[in-house]
Chains A and B, each alone.
Chain A
Amino acid sequence: MKVIIIGAGKLGYKLAESMINSEVDVTLVDSNPEVINRANEHLDLLTVCANGLEIEILKDLEIETYDLLIAATSSDETNTIICSLAKKLGCKRTISRIRNPEYTEQLDFIKREMGIDHIINPDLATADEILKLALKDYNFYSGDFAKGKVQMIDICVNNMNKIIGKKLMEIDSLKGLLIAAISRDGKIKIPDGSTKLEIDDIIYFIGKRESIEKLVKKYKLNSGSINIKNVMILGGGKIGYYLANKLSEFNIKSTVVEQNNERCVYLMNNLKKGLVIHGDGTDLNLLEEENLSEMDAFIAVTGFDEQNILMSLLAKQSGIKKVITKISRPNYTNLIEKLDIDIALNPVNITVSDILRYIRGGKVVSVSLLLGDQAEVTEVIVDEDLPIVGKAISDLGLSKGIIIGALVHNGDVIIPNGNTIINKYDRLIIYSLVENVQGLDMFFKKNKEDRISELWNSNKSNGEFAST
């Protein structure tokens, strides 16, 4: 499969990086030679230093031979035009990043008229994700699978004193749960029975929702059922804007702190509800005047990772129960795990996860990248004509970096072992280290050529793309 990405910013670069791991031939186009050099040094792809808007460049690259074009430059307008051009020149599918809230109202029209097959909006997707996490009553990064039947949470092992120092097979209190991954010193591992838990490990549990809830209760991991009423949002950028609007739908009062005066006016004019404060978000006095300590949640979504991290720590110190931070640079993620921040999110990861799901095709329901970028969780429905149907898990020859965390058979959640047999239409939730992603192919691939066409068809039927 051939994919061309225009714009090697954070999103473009990360997309390229993730795709290379899964047998996709990537061409990356950017007009900045420095970015191109960097990509060349670190990634195995074809780079072109040029303006993706030039028809000559697209023709030269033989755009008609590509299966997918992703326009991820910083400008919505450029992205739209690139997609439109590429489509006219014969590129099979196009995805465009469009972030401007003004356009979100007219996306359908744009899609239809400009020949864009899909639109991604990382800010909106991030706002959605934050909202989901804010409404939950425990303080960990978590994910829902199989329509909420299966849940995943990550917990620092220090919260569960009893199991520190034990080997996984010695822990018997984990009925209906599986430790699918362990993050130690910034590295994610897929454990086996003999893996010992150490202090400061972050463990990823997966299991039935009820079992997870029990676990949370048993170890008093929930922050007491907080009824979130008041939320402070630091940063009135696009994420902040979407988030405040979404919160108001749930009757949650939001206070948006934004430094830029013009932006404040814009927010005031466009937000349906909520308070907009003009001021420096790092000014503690200002935050306290706005009742920081009485907030139920604090969400830092400014454009600066450092500011987000520091202010989140400060908020945590002031006693706020739930603190969510946006982090755009992957370099900090290892550090975050050690800090007292409840949930950290990377918008790029969220978007990449979405696109990866489409690249994989088949019956892949969702893909999520774990924060450190080193592992992925894929949810897939087993198709009837896959060769794995009817086989026991131990016969699949899975590599060490892949583990099936849960299996939903006829609506029952099963924590599988080696003897569990895979039936058709089962939902599988699979953990895999990024370097082993290729080994996942057996779960969704029948035949290479069909993938892309199937991918879009299946997509039409379940239509849950991250755009509106």
Chain B
Amino acid sequence: MNYGIVIKVMGNLLVLESLMMTPSLLISIFSREDDYIAFIVSIAITALVGFFISRPKVKNTKIKVKEGLAIVAYGWIFSSFFAALPFVISGSIPSFLDALFETISGFTTTGATIINDIEVLPRGILFWRSLTHWMGGMGILVFTVAIIPTLGVGGFQVFKAESPGPISDKIAPRIKNTAKILYKTYIAITLLEIMFLIFGGMSLYEASIHTFGTVGTGGFSTRNSSIGAFDSTYIHIVISVFMILSGVNFSLYFALYRRKWKDLLKNEELRFYLGVVASATILIGLNLYLNTDNTLGISFRDSLFQSSSILTTTGYGTANFDKWPTFSKSILFILMFIGGCAGSTGGAIKNIRILLLLKMIKREIAKIFHPRAVVPIKLGKKVVAEETILSITSFFILYITLFVGGTIIVSTQGIDLESSASAVAATLGNVGPGFGFVGPTQNYSEFNNFIKLFLSLLMILGRLELFTIIALVAPKSWKNEI
């Protein structure tokens, strides 16, 4: 492994991170809160460390698959460490472990929090907390790739390891330009949502924070009762729509930009995803209307919001869905596993994998009747390579294994089944809130340190799609086995 280049990229990443902290610093100075010292210290530490480890000249700048994995895995862990500094230094979250949980939850766009009363925290700190969502959503390293001039093809290895979904496609010949196009799209959507929210009566500050939470599909808010604090159907609908938009593969927006409507309409994953949103909304809406005393309108508004929030793994809440009928809760639980589309900011298994798994089942059934039939699995018009199918299967198995194993581990600490299962599903899928103990009105602060650390690990595993991290910590004998 070429550690030189890994460390160098890491240095660049940290310098970038320190730059990203400056808006929060400005906000604290502007609002005359005393946490600005925390930001100055954190920026200084992060920038200095980053500067010094990115200084040495690296002879071999080749980034192969291994280096790509290492850069992404270590990059996420290190940047979380440094991002936790402002919380600890300002005293907003005194325990370092808690602060780490919070930043990992931020970067992985989970949105699970250990803070009991958000509203008392200083504005700069809250802004930083939500900005981590925005950075983590599209990928902190994709951002680095867009900015560092000469990663060359190595950038693709990094991009592949960080961007979600089984198949990573470039949309421009150079990886740098691909990253830039993605970020431009991302920024455009962000600005659009901020405008819509301001139009709905939010302040610029709150509109930005909730936008970061939405487009990053994170879920951090400035209010204890999340979006429920804003009693405006307009805001609920705007946020629902933008959550759904953020769960779509971002390269499709590029197709849209190039006026390729057909690509968009024919995209099977998009259709499947929108189908899931629609059916979940209708089922939950009817279930709520029939079993609670909500009006039809309110039932559907809440159902649309909650389905899209959980499916895209955002985790915002407008209602306490923990109190909803069991049928609705079961559907939400299933949505936690499906997640967004490949190449979106959403987490969990991703629609494309679920879609292909369903097609695989269909094929197996066809084979019972025609044992010798050659049935390729197609996505759109293209045949999906058997290798891809296999890797999706093993991803799914690993995901479920982690979920089951995780649930057992959490339950050893005396937590009931519903809470432990949903806590694991919500962190592994980067959703945020679950049911029971970690329901929408609760948070993760009551867990002991062991569980917090374990769930932090699950969040990173989930965000980086399992194999990136597992490949690095796997025993040597596995790595060498071919």
Chain A contacts to B: CB under 8 angstroms = 2, 20, 25-27, 33, 40-47, 62
Contacts and interface: CB of A to CB of B under 8 A. Distances in A.
Nearest to B176: A44
B151 to A, nearest CB: 9
A44 B172 contact: no
Contacts of B65: 41
Contact of A44 (B175, B258, B385): B175
B156 interface: yes
Nearest to B263: A60
Given A33-B385, A41-B65, A62-B258, A25 B153 contact: no
B173 interface: yes
A45 B173 contact: yes
Interface residues of B, number: 16
18 contacts: A2-B173, A25-B173, A25-B174, A25-B177, A27-B173, A33-B385, A41-B65, A41-B153, A42-B153, A44-B153, A44-B156, A44-B175, A45-B173, A45-B174, A46-B170, A46-B172, A46-B173, A47-B170
Given A33-B385, A41-B65, 14 more contacts: A2-B173, A25-B172, A25-B173, A26-B173, A40-B156, A42-B153, A44-B152, A44-B153, A44-B155, A44-B174, A44-B176, A45-B173, A45-B174, A62-B258
Interface string B156-176: 110000000000001111111
Contacts of A43: 153
A53 B173 CA distance: 21
Give the one of B152, B155, B174, B177 with max A CB within 10 A.
B174
Interface residues of chain B: helix, strand, loop or mixed (majority): loop
Contacts of B153: 41-44
Nearest to A23: B174
A28 to B, nearest CB: 9
A436 B157 CA distance: 23
Interface string B348-366: 0000000000000000000
Interface in B173-212: 173-177
Interface string B219-230: 000000000000
Nearest to A26: B173
Nearest to A24: B173
Contacts of A47: 170
A255 to B, nearest CB: 46
A46 B169 CA distance: 9
Contacts of A42: 153
Contacts of A33: 385
6 interchain residue pairs of minimum CB distance: A25-B173, A46-B173, A44-B153, A45-B173, A44-B152, A46-B170
Contacts of A26: 173
Interface of B: 65, 152-153, 155-157, 170-177, 258, 385
Contacts of A25: 172-174, 177
A44 B153 CA distance: 4
B266 to A, nearest CB: 12
A55 B171 CA distance: 20
Contacts of B155: 44
A198 to B, nearest CB: 20
Most chain B C-beta atoms within 10 Å of own C-beta, residue among A25, A33, A42, A44: A44
Contacts of B170: 46-47
A27 B172 CA distance: 9
Nearest to B153: A44
A133 to B, nearest CB: 34
Q: Which of A27, A40, A46 has the most CB of B within 10 A?
A: A46
Contacts of B152: 20, 44
A26 B173 CA distance: 6
A2 B174 CA distance: 11
A106 B52 CA distance: 64
A40 B173 CA distance: 10
Contacts of B173: 2, 25-27, 44-46
A33 B387 CA distance: 11
Contacts of A46: 170-173
Nearest to B168: A40
Nearest to A46: B173
Nearest to A56: B381
Contacts of A44: 152-153, 155-156, 173-176
B265 to A, nearest CB: 15
Contacts of B385: 33
B74 to A, nearest CB: 21
Contacts of B175: 44
Contacts of B174: 25, 44-45
A46 B175 CA distance: 8
B207 to A, nearest CB: 37
A27 B174 CA distance: 9
Q: Of residues A25, A27, A33, A45, which shows the largest number of chain B Cβ atoms within 10 Å of its Cβ?
A: A45
Nearest to B61: A435
A42 B153 CA distance: 6
Nearest to B172: A46
A26 B172 CA distance: 9
Nearest to A62: B258
Nearest to A16: B173
B79 to A, nearest CB: 25
A2 B177 CA distance: 13
Nearest to B175: A44
Contacts of B157: 41
A222 B223 CA distance: 87
A139 to B, nearest CB: 36
A41 B155 CA distance: 10
Nearest to B62: A42
A20 B170 CA distance: 16
Contacts of B177: 25
A268 B54 CA distance: 66
A59 B32 CA distance: 57
A321 to B, nearest CB: 42
A19 to B, nearest CB: 10
A46 B152 CA distance: 13
A26 to B, nearest CB: 6
A41 B170 CA distance: 12
A2 B153 CA distance: 18
Contacts of B156: 40-41, 44
A46 to B, nearest CB: 4
Contacts of A20: 152
Contacts of B172: 25, 46
Nearest to A47: B170
A27 B175 CA distance: 12
B480 to A, nearest CB: 20
B197 to A, nearest CB: 36
